Amino acid sequence: MSIKRIYDDIPLDVWKKVLNENMDYSFIPEAMDNPCFSSVSTVLDVGCGWGANIRTLKNKYNINTTGLTNSLQQFDLLKNEDIILSDAEDYVPDKEYDLIMFVQSITHMKNSVLKNYQSATNKIFITDFVSNEYKYQYDWDMRIRTKIEYEYMFNKIGFEIKEFNVWSYEKYYPFAQYWLDNINKHKITNGHQMIMLKRLCEDILGNMHRVRDVLMCDIYAERIK
């Protein structure tokens, strides 16, 4: 895989109209309140979006966060930060980090991606979807994994899950509503990512996720000693 122009067909100012001021592109910014962040000073944020969590970790814990993105538009916006332009599935870190995180990004990556990062840290944090049955959404190259699948992925790289917290639907409805309202208010109808985001928000708010048993979870894993 290569660098994607996935966000380039939608101008940055359009994204700014849809996302909030911090450019959060995850449904649950509160995931950054997880205690795992209180004892680390360097983080690699794999699939960092427009840098919302880089800013949050800096302001909240004074953590130096390196972002990794496969989007030229995001890379360009964050060029004054410590930022890497690469496909996460091709990248292998050349230094160590106290913690490596994937905030709503590993859903777009194959299970094998974790192998690239296993030697660069002892701690991995994930926020993503979870369900009782594996689902793959072709249009957005998105995997909804089961808890057992996550356990298997970590086991394969010699890590074990220490915490697995599931968020309630109510927690991520407000963001879905906010983004959907903004997309409609500004009459945005173009751009694959925007169409996918709109559909996802509609699915969440229309109870499709509840029907299909999809939730969000935070996972914290450590290397097995």
Ligand X SMILES: C[S@@+](CC[C@H](N)C(=O)[O-])C[C@H]1O[C@@H](n2cnc3c(N)ncnc32)[C@H](O)[C@@H]1O
Q: Is 73 in the site for ligand X (CB under 6 A)?
A: no
Write the CA distances from 190 to 10, 74, 150, integer angstroms: 8, 19, 34
User: Nearest to ligand X by Cβ — which residue?
Assistant: 49
Backbone torsions φ then ψ of 144, nearest 5 degrees: -105, 110
CB of 29 to ligand X, least distance (A): 8
- Name the DSSP letter for residue 7: T
Torsion of CA 4, 7, 8, 9, to 10 degrees: 120
Tracing tokens 């751009």 back to the chain, one arrives at 191
One-character DSSP codes across 146-184: -HHHHHHHHHHTTEEEEEEEEEPHHHHHHHHHHHHHHHH
Distance CA 57, CA 62 (A): 6
Q: Is 116 in the site for ligand X (CB under 6 A)?
A: no
What six digits make up the tokens of 61?
């814990």
CB of 224 to ligand X, least distance (A): 26
Piece of the chain touching ligand X by CB under 6 A; list 9-17, 36-44, 67-75, 200-208 = 67-75
CB of 102 to ligand X, least distance (A): 8
Q: Which is nearer to ligand X, 17 or 225 (CB)?
A: 17
Q: Is 124 in the site for ligand X (CB under 6 A)?
A: no
**3 state DSSP class of 40:** coil
Binder of ligand X out of 15, 36, 43, 53 (CB under 6 A): 53
Contact set for ligand X, span 161-190 (CB under 6 A): none
Q: Is 109 in the site for ligand X (CB under 6 A)?
A: yes
Contact set for ligand X, span 3-42 (CB under 6 A): 24-26
Q: Is 89 in the site for ligand X (CB under 6 A)?
A: yes
CA 140-157-47 angle, to 5 degrees, is: 35
Binder of ligand X out of 36, 43, 54, 88 (CB under 6 A): 88
Binder of ligand X out of 52, 54, 99, 183 (CB under 6 A): 52
What six digits make up the tokens of 99?
């913690």
Binder of ligand X out of 82, 87, 98, 163 (CB under 6 A): 87
Distance CA 187, CA 37 (A): 38
Q: Is 71 in the site for ligand X (CB under 6 A)?
A: yes
Binder of ligand X out of 10, 37, 43, 47 (CB under 6 A): 47
Q: What is the contact surface with ligand X in residues (CB under 6 A)?
A: 24-26, 47-49, 52-53, 68-71, 74, 87-89, 103-105, 108-109
